[in-house]
A and B are shown apart, each in its own frame.
Chain A
Amino acid sequence: MSELSATVMNLPRRDAQDKLRGRTKYTNDRIRLDMLHAVLLRSTVPAGHIRKLDVSAALRCPGVRAVATGADAPGLYGIGIADHPLLAIDTIRYHGEPIAVIAAETEKQARAALAAIMLEVEPQAPVFAMAEALQPAARLVHEGWRGYDVITQGGARAGNIAWEAKSSRGDVDAAFARPDIRIVESSFTVGRQSHVPFEPRVAIGSWEDGRAHIQTSTQVPWTVRNVTGRVMQLPPGRVRVTVPPVGGGFGLKFDASIEPITALLARMTGRTVVLENTRQEEMATCLCRENAEIRIRSAVTAEGYIAGREAVVLMDCGAYGGEQVFLTTMTAHTLGGNYKVGATRLVSRAVYTNTPPNGAFRACNGVYNTFALERHTDEICDALGFDPMEFRKKNVLGDGDLGATGQVFEADVLGPMLDRMEALRASTGTSEAKADGRLYGIATTVGTWFVFVGPSAATVNLNADGSATLVTSGVEIGSGTMVQSLPQIVAGQLGLAPDQVIVREADTDAAGLDVGVGGGRTTVSIGAASIAACAEVREKLLQTAGEMLQTRPEDLVLRDGRVEITGRPGSGMSIPAVVAHAQAITGPISGSGAFAAKNTPAMSGCAMGHFIDALDIPVFVVHEAEVAVDPDTGHVEVLAYRVVQDVGRVLNPRAILGQIQGGVVQGLGYALHEEVTLTADGRIAQDDFETYRLPLAQDVVPVAADLYEGAPSMGPLGTKGAGEVPILAVGAAIGCAVARAIGKPVRQLPLTPPRVLRLLHEREPPPEFPHIAPGWAANTLG
């Protein structure tokens, strides 16, 4: 039996029954009566200087046990740049920023004491839009930006530009100067998207034996550990983070936010402290998918060759750099992906504004860059008279083609996937008849994403009952990796049934470093580390069994819970017998394994300020949408949706199809009706379920999906991440389909009915970016 055939199956989720019966204890189900409750004093202005902050009266309020301010946690944190205080220190940079925190016996007492905090703020003129922030005379959101600790070197920074990443390959000026090309230029703008995990950010902190212990709903236990260490100025090893089942993440919980506050209060009080965002706080301070502004220009020949391409992408990081600093990297791979391009240069800038900080959201950056690139591609086709499908087939990245940073892509993947989409459409048929008199559009789009590899560690302990315990820092956020792909992988390696693999929930005291659950990385990175751990277990097991059976270890196999002699099913002995023997003679059997990125090279000098110069594991998608637009109301109905997804190797087809359905529907919300706007005082206006329009059952259609296997991957058993990417090209497919339905260019998402009506009646002004200079180089820091 091959490893693969023992691994691939539709393993059901082991956590389903408890979740369905309401027995699963998420972090916010673990609040006990003896815990202190913390509540935050948050800013009600978007920008200002704190002139006075006196908490002494609050400390005397009934039930109050501690009050903390920025002075109690002076360290700054961040990704790339440490610019973010736990609680505002002297300066307020966004509406909703935490300023102080009160811990009291009850939540009611803590809330009542908020009024006793004496706070005087001198308001400053806020900088809300990136257009304002980029003015030469703009007020600096971070006056002291030069003094920040730069955690990762290499990005250009200046004033309100938190970070700038550039890629440049070939002579773009020469490409645009060619006499045989036409230049097509497009501008796009997109708003924020709120994750709305059903479990908000919540943490329970205690202080045990001189160390912090934080139980929290996070995707990144090691980040929470390290950030807590930074802000409390403790060695990170004095912080332990454990993670119960997480009630949804989608990237929101890929950074630390409120968790360290509970450790701080626990140290001050000696008590266990819980801090949970209310739904209003959760949405008003959501680390949203960032709003962005994109300008793309392409030089294309009459034959349809893209000789040159340049783009400027502005990403609003909000008040602090956060994830956007890292995500500037992704423009080279998302906007710079999909197509063969002669020469290209792209710049991506994270811009500070006095708005709530943005963060990571499923296929971060890729979702809007794919929308922009695919709509731009359709505009090229319109301008030059190409068939959009033929143009894509001719130009998609194939074997040996170069990416924006000079990375050499391997194998033809997107081309065959486009063929598979045509086959899928032939099998499902189209739904034009359902348009029933409304405006009908269909569009096929492509997308390029990746697996965020990076370090993972795993330990496997083989137990005397024949079970194995897998210890990692992985977290079950709902995608199923901890309950499906990982036990399947370990079972396949050790000849066990998946239910014999116990999966330990994340505990930074028990498992090694991990960069977290996100970027489609768990099956790949933790899976690879688990396979390495299993190799050590297997070697020890076969060595011992070989001695017991007087057989060479290389003649033994693990199958159905037994160590057997190759080719002789039923021979040998049971794994428990070997483990018991080993425990007495050489000691318990365990193995540890590790994984790291292989750091695929880029072309020298092509990538500047990038956290990832080239993609170790590219992931491709082809999405097709059919829509009907009601010309009277502007309402867009999705009639059908089809996906061909590059999955490398399928381990659990049913689980992947579940991720595709869920990811596409989140993308439909982004494309059509999830809209975040700011009020005049810089607050997120949509801070509840009434104002933020999530997809409902009646909005969605069953997604028809074809899983494309066999593209190269360094992932274990040839796998790629499958849970993140399904959202990637939804904005693109819907945007292109609606543009074709209404016969007008779509340059902004979401396509709410009012916006679609304005587009139909030519009352929607196209995006204009006076703050993006006409010459590409003028949009860079040099």
Chain B
Amino acid sequence: MTVTFRLNGEDCRFHGDPMTPLVDILRQERFLTGTKAVCREGFCGACTVHVDDEAMPSCLKPVGLVQGCAVTTIEGLSSGNQAPHPLQANFEAADAVQCGMCFPGMVMSLSAFVRDNPHASRPEIKAAMVGNICRCTGYERIVDAVADCLDQARKAGQSVGGINV
């Protein structure tokens, strides 16, 4: 069976079992290894991508279900020499990263969250992170950086993100 979808702004065709998890196609066929396959059961969030602007774990998404959809991966969020997404810039500035493996998924989940929740409180940010596990950092610095990012956007009178291919 052939599945056709948009991947980071370009047409993508997959020939094969439509039950194949999207993450395997991204990593093994498109070499988009920024999407991490960690638990493969939807708990850790490291494989989060946007499907039609909504953040979801690509391990639980059979590719057949993205037929006709627009999929954005971490590589598509800020590609090439483009400026990083404000969240990425804030995480870098806050020295939030350690081993780094959870961060692509963390960025994909939270970039959708800050876009939709410009006035989120700290507890709301933490609640939004329930599907993204980090084993290194103890989370608080990530929460701080998200809060800073929202704060900066509010002061500038802008929304965060809207960067969707």
Interface residue ranges, A against B (CB under 8 Å): 10, 12-13, 15-17, 19-26, 29, 31, 195-199, 245-250, 279, 477-480, 654-655, 658, 661-666, 688-690, 694-698, 700-703
Q: Is B55 located at the chain interface by the 8 A CB criterion?
A: no
- Is B88 a contact of A198 with CB atoms below 8 Å? no
Give the docked Cα–Cα distance between A26 and B33 (Å): 9
Q: A16-B95, A21-B74, A198-B101 are in contact. Are A662 and B138 (CB under 8 A)?
A: yes
Give the docked Cα–Cα distance between A245 and B137 (Å): 17
- Is B43 a contact of A16 with CB atoms below 8 Å? no
Q: A21-B75, A245-B100, A697-B126 are in contact. Are A661 and B38 (CB under 8 A)?
A: no
- Is B73 a contact of A22 with CB atoms below 8 Å? yes
Chain A residue contacts of B88, Cβ below 8 A? 17, 20-21
Chain B residue contacts of A195, Cβ below 8 A? 135
Give the docked Cα–Cα distance between A385 and B38 (Å): 51
- Is A694 a contact of B100 with CB atoms below 8 Å? no
CB distance from B143 to the nearest CB of A (A): 7
- Can you identify 23 A-B contacts, CB atoms within 8 angstroms? A12-B95, A15-B100, A16-B91, A17-B84, A17-B88, A21-B34, A21-B75, A22-B35, A23-B34, A199-B101, A245-B100, A247-B100, A247-B101, A248-B99, A248-B135, A248-B136, A249-B99, A658-B137, A661-B140, A690-B41, A697-B126, A698-B126, A700-B140
- Is A688 a contact of B135 with CB atoms below 8 Å? no
Q: Is B6 located at the chain interface by the 8 A CB criterion?
A: no
- Is A478 a contact of B100 with CB atoms below 8 Å? yes
Secondary structure call for the A interface: loop
> 0/1 per residue, B43-83, Cβ < 8 Å to A?
11010000000000000000000000000011101100000
Chain B residue contacts of A21, Cβ below 8 A? 34, 74-75, 77-78, 84, 88, 104
Chain A residue contacts of B39, Cβ below 8 A? 279, 688-689
- Is A697 a contact of B139 with CB atoms below 8 Å? yes
Using CB atoms, name the residue of chain A closest to B74: A22
CB distance from A694 to the nearest CB of B (A): 6
Using CB atoms, name the residue of chain A closest to B95: A654
Give the docked Cα–Cα distance between A695 and B127 (Å): 13
Cross-interface CB contact of B99 among A10, A20, A23, A197, cutoff 8 Å? A197
Give the docked Cα–Cα distance between A665 and B133 (Å): 12
Cross-interface CB contact of B107 among A20, A245, A698, cutoff 8 Å? A20
Using CB atoms, name the residue of chain B closest to A688: B41
Give the docked Cα–Cα distance between A25 and B36 (Å): 11
Q: Of residues B75, B99, B143, which shows the largest number of chain A Cβ atoms within 10 Å of its Cβ? A: B99
Q: A12-B92, A17-B84, A21-B74 are in contact. Are A696 and B99 (CB under 8 A)?
A: no
- Is A655 a contact of B95 with CB atoms below 8 Å? yes
- Is B97 a contact of A279 with CB atoms below 8 Å? no
Give the docked Cα–Cα distance between A477 and B136 (Å): 10
Cross-interface CB contact of A22 among B33, B38, B133, B141, cutoff 8 Å? B33
Cross-interface CB contact of A480 among B91, B98, B107, cutoff 8 Å? B98
Counting from the closest, the 3 A-B pairs by CB-CB distance are A22-B34, A19-B100, A478-B99
Chain A residue contacts of B103, Cβ below 8 A? 19-20
Q: Is B114 located at the chain interface by the 8 A CB criterion?
A: no
Q: Is B93 located at the chain interface by the 8 A CB criterion?
A: yes
Q: Is B156 located at the chain interface by the 8 A CB criterion?
A: no
Give the docked Cα–Cα distance between A689 and B40 (Å): 9
CB distance from A663 to the nearest CB of B (A): 8
CB distance from B81 to the nearest CB of A (A): 11
Chain A residue contacts of B96, Cβ below 8 A? 16, 658
Secondary structure call for the B interface: loop
Chain B residue contacts of A694, Cβ below 8 A? 133, 135
- Is A661 a contact of B141 with CB atoms below 8 Å? yes
CB distance from A248 to the nearest CB of B (A): 4
Chain B residue contacts of A479, Cβ below 8 A? 98
Chain B residue contacts of A696, Cβ below 8 A? 129-130, 133, 139
Chain A residue contacts of B84, Cβ below 8 A? 17, 20-21
Chain B residue contacts of A480, Cβ below 8 A? 98
- Is B38 a contact of A15 with CB atoms below 8 Å? no
Chain A residue contacts of B74, Cβ below 8 A? 21-22
Q: Is B112 located at the chain interface by the 8 A CB criterion?
A: no
Chain A residue contacts of B28, Cβ below 8 A? 31
Chain A residue contacts of B95, Cβ below 8 A? 10, 12-13, 16, 654-655, 658
Chain B residue contacts of A663, Cβ below 8 A? 138
Give the docked Cα–Cα distance between A22 and B130 (Å): 21
Chain B residue contacts of A695, Cβ below 8 A? 138-139
- Is B97 a contact of A697 with CB atoms below 8 Å? no
Chain B residue contacts of A666, Cβ below 8 A? 135, 138
Chain B residue contacts of A245, Cβ below 8 A? 99-100
Chain B residue contacts of A658, Cβ below 8 A? 95-96, 98, 137, 141
A-B contacts besides A21-B88, A690-B43, A703-B140, 11 pairs, CB < 8 Å: A13-B97, A15-B97, A19-B97, A247-B100, A248-B101, A248-B135, A279-B39, A279-B40, A662-B136, A694-B133, A700-B139
Cross-interface CB contact of A198 among B78, B135, B143, cutoff 8 Å? B135
Give the docked Cα–Cα distance between A618 and B35 (Å): 41
Chain A residue contacts of B38, Cβ below 8 A? 198, 279
CB distance from B60 to the nearest CB of A (A): 13
Q: Of residues A246, A480, A662, which shows the largest number of chain B Cβ atoms within 10 Å of its Cβ? A: A662
Q: Is B102 located at the chain interface by the 8 A CB criterion?
A: yes
Cross-interface CB contact of B104 among A16, A20, A31, A690, cutoff 8 Å? A20
Give the docked Cα–Cα distance between A483 and B38 (Å): 24
- Is B100 a contact of A24 with CB atoms below 8 Å? yes
> 0/1 per residue, B19-40, Cβ < 8 Å to A?
0000000011000111110111
Chain A residue contacts of B136, Cβ below 8 A? 248, 478, 662
Give the docked Cα–Cα distance between A204 and B43 (Å): 27
- Is B33 a contact of A29 with CB atoms below 8 Å? yes
CB distance from A665 to the nearest CB of B (A): 3
Chain A residue contacts of B129, Cβ below 8 A? 696-698
- Is B33 a contact of A20 with CB atoms below 8 Å? no
Give the docked Cα–Cα distance between A36 and B132 (Å): 32
Chain A residue contacts of B77, Cβ below 8 A? 21
Chain B residue contacts of A661, Cβ below 8 A? 137-141
CB distance from A512 to the nearest CB of B (A): 26
Chain B residue contacts of A250, Cβ below 8 A? 135
Chain A residue contacts of B98, Cβ below 8 A? 478-480, 658, 662
CB distance from A256 to the nearest CB of B (A): 20
- Is B139 a contact of A665 with CB atoms below 8 Å? yes
Cross-interface CB contact of B127 among A16, A690, A698, cutoff 8 Å? A698
